[in-house]
Amino acid sequence: MTTTPSSLIEQAAVACAGARKGVALTGAGISVESGIPPFRGKGGLWEKIDPMKYAHVAAFESNPAEVWEVLFIGMSDVLGKASPNAAHKGLRQLEDSGVLQTVITQNVDGLHQQAGSSDVIEFHGTHAFLRCSACSRRVDAKAVPLDHLPPKCRCGGVLRPDVVLFGEMIDPNLLQRSQLLSAGCDVMLVIGTSGTVEPAASLPLIAKHSGAFIIEINPEPTPLTDRISDVTLLGPAGEIMDEMVDRVKKLKV
């Protein structure tokens, strides 16, 4: 059990039960209980290498084979074994209950779609597809053999996961849609994100300034906790969401 007081979970549940245009903003933390370690903080996979260094576009451009070996293959292995946890499933249930409209995720693991969420904005792209760095052709990652690294496109260009690396721009259309949704939501659930990677980190501010109620779920306080969040539920996302969604369902009947 978490140490989050039951009254705080109830407060969050009441806010959710009254919402119709909820938006969730999720980060690597929501997938930790699915076995995918985050880059920041404790996580076996990344304690030996610095993913922030290898996940930079400059590293990929100067040595794509090394970035494939060190980062992308490791990520693919971990992501391939993961399945949605109670937090991903809880967001799907909030959608089914008419509370949640859209999930904006910084994750590249596809677990929200696997859990059945129907409107998922993948801010940082997805590992499910590879993209050619020369001609931009997209291919299903499962269809590309990885015996020779880096894998190549039929045009000869280097293939890479269709993700946004550090030092790269977010798709402006996705960013604009996310900002509009944040400005129009009544509740925002901020789950498992450190609130430090821009521009995703600004979305809770936009929501707050537009009058939304902000619920944060994270085992650690973040820069949002005291300034922006109306309720912070300190604990693992799956455990907290399980309890909160249960309460929302009871309040909705």
The closest alpha carbon to 72, from 135, 156, 154, 131, belongs to: 131
Give the span between the Cα atoms of 22 and 252, in whole angstroms: 15
Q: Does 222 bind ligand NAD (CB under 6 A)?
A: yes
Which residues participate in catalysis according to the annotation? 124
**β-strand 159-163 against 187-191: which pairing, if any?**
unpaired
**β-strand 138-140 against 125-132: which pairing, if any?**
antiparallel
When CB distances are held under 5 to 8 angstroms depending on the partner's kind, the choice from Zn ion, ligand NAD, none that residue 130 binds is none
Name the segment binding ligand NAD (CB under 6 A); options: 25-33, 92-100, 141-149, 177-185: 25-33
Residue 12's identity, in one-letter code, is A
Name the segment binding ligand NAD (CB under 6 A); options: 5-13, 90-98, 102-110, 138-146: 102-110
Q: Measured from the CB atom, is 27 or 64 closer to ligand NAD?
A: 27
Q: Distance from CA of residue 68 to its chain's centroid?
A: 22
Q: Please name the residues in contact with 29: beta carbons below 8 A apart, sequence gap of 6 or more.
A: 38, 191, 192, 193, 194, 218, 219, 237
When CB distances are held under 5 to 8 angstroms depending on the partner's kind, the choice from ligand NAD, Zn ion, none that residue 40 binds is ligand NAD
When CB distances are held under 5 to 8 angstroms depending on the partner's kind, the choice from ligand NAD, Zn ion, none that residue 197 binds is ligand NAD
SS3 161: strand
Q: Does 191 bind Zn ion (CB under 5 A)?
A: no
Residue count of the chain, please give it: 253
Q: Does 236 bind ligand NAD (CB under 6 A)?
A: yes
Sites of contact with ligand NAD (CB under 6 A): 27-33, 36, 38-41, 106-109, 124, 192-194, 196-197, 217-220, 222, 236-237
